[in-house]
Amino acid sequence: ATPAATMVGTTIGAKHGILFKGGDVLERVRDVDTVVFDKTGTLTKGEMHLTDAVVVSPTTDGSGDVDSDAVRADGAGASAAVESDVDERLLLEVAAAAESGSEHPIAEAVVAGAKKRDIDVSDPVAFQNVAGQGVRARIDRGTALVGKPDLMREYDVDPDPAADTMTDLESEGKTAMLVALDDELLGVLAVADEVKDSAKEAVSTLRGRGVSVFMLTGDNERTARAVAERVGIDADNVRAEVMPDEKADEVESIQDDGRRVMMVGDGVNDAPALAAAFVGTALGSGTDVAIEAADVTLMRDDPVDVIRAMRVSEGTLSKIK
């Protein structure tokens, strides 16, 4: 494209909050045939809220809802919870103290949920973010773990007593996480996130244009599929439980089939995948690292702007030919 055409395209894009990093990017966008969306914060609002707190005893699996005032009085799970020293408030207190060291949307939801229930949230004494897994923190009460089953196993906590509870919550599209204190499993928390209003429209418009749509997430398979179904992405095109350092490999493997991939993401953990993709697209609300790694930034955080970016790219080229 001529410098003038590039200038026009860049200007039109900017008017819609679509920032292209240079003329070659503007030209590349029209050749994209596959769009890979990150889930959390990209297809979903990334505004998670706490939905469930379930105390799990080592022998009996429980099930309960955090919105109810007391531990449920029916069923075996409830009686186990009543006998236990652990209650929902301790579960929340431990998790919130550990998560207050993290800026992850999950962490923010846990902290906000605890505060909403008048639980004092203390700062962790020491804190470690385990990418794609959760957090480990030294808090007043001991050493806390919040995150996936694999994180528990890594520190010799058996996640199995909570397996059924996890499955139930994940089937509802919630992200469930385990909470442990000093090697003891306390229970399960779940957070939920709404899909963005335009996510479904973006997916169907892309597919209507013959563009394949994938979803890539560090979240578990069950939650990922539930969300994919809501936005109209085929279960076959869902890549779940992808660790942050594997996201770029996953994009490359999709590109190995000869596809020209636009990766759309917002997080630090998306940055390598954004760099690896034919076109990397970051959301304006995303982390600086993601924006730096990306070729395009969508300032409005709207998945539909992916299509607008394609139209700008096409328009620019057709005008100069």
Residue 151 CB: number of other CB atoms within 10 A? 21
In angstroms, the CA 148 to CA 152 distance is: 7
Residue 143 CB: number of other CB atoms within 10 A?
17
Q: Which is nearer to Mg ion, 88 or 270 (CB)?
A: 270
Verify binding: residue 41, Mg ion, rule CB under 5 A.
yes
38 binds Mg ion (CB under 5 A): yes
Q: Tell me if 100 contacts ligand ADP by CB under 6 A.
A: no
Q: Please select the residue that binds ligand ADP; options are 8, 66, 80, 107, rule is CB under 6 A.
A: 107
Residues 6 or more apart whose Cβ sits within 8 Å of residue 269? 131, 132, 218, 244, 247
Q: Work out whether 132 is an interface residue with Mg ion (CB under 5 A).
A: no
Contact range with ligand ADP by CB under 6 A, out of 69-77, 216-224, 228-236, 253-261 = 216-224
Looking up tokens 């759309």 gives: 264
The residue number whose beta carbon is nearest to ligand ADP equals: 218
36: helix, strand or coil: strand
Q: Which of 24, 31, 33, 38 is catalytic?
A: 38
Residue 283 burial (CB count, 10 A): 26
193 binds Mg ion (CB under 5 A): no
Residue 40 interacts with Mg ion (CB under 5 A)?
yes
Concerning whether 158 is annotated as a catalytic residue, the answer is no
Alpha helices (H) in 185-266, listed in sequence order: 199-208, 221-231, 247-255
Contact between 27 and ligand ADP (CB under 6 A)? Answer: no
Sites for ligand ADP among residues 218-247 (CB under 6 A): 218-219, 244
Measured from the CB atom, the residue of 103 and 197 that comes closer to ligand ADP is 103
Q: At what angle do helices 105-116 and 88-99 cross, to 10 degrees?
A: 140
Alpha-carbon distance of 255 to 273, in angstroms, equals 11
Which candidate, 289, 225, 214, places its Cα nearest to that of 37?
A: 214
- Residue 180 lies near ligand ADP (rule: CB under 6 A): no
Residue 102 binding target from Mg ion, ligand ADP, none, CB below 5 to 8 Å by type: ligand ADP
Residues assigned a catalytic role: 38
- For ligand ADP, the binding residues (CB under 6 A) are 38-40, 99, 102, 104, 106-107, 132-135, 146-148, 175, 177, 217-219, 244, 267, 269
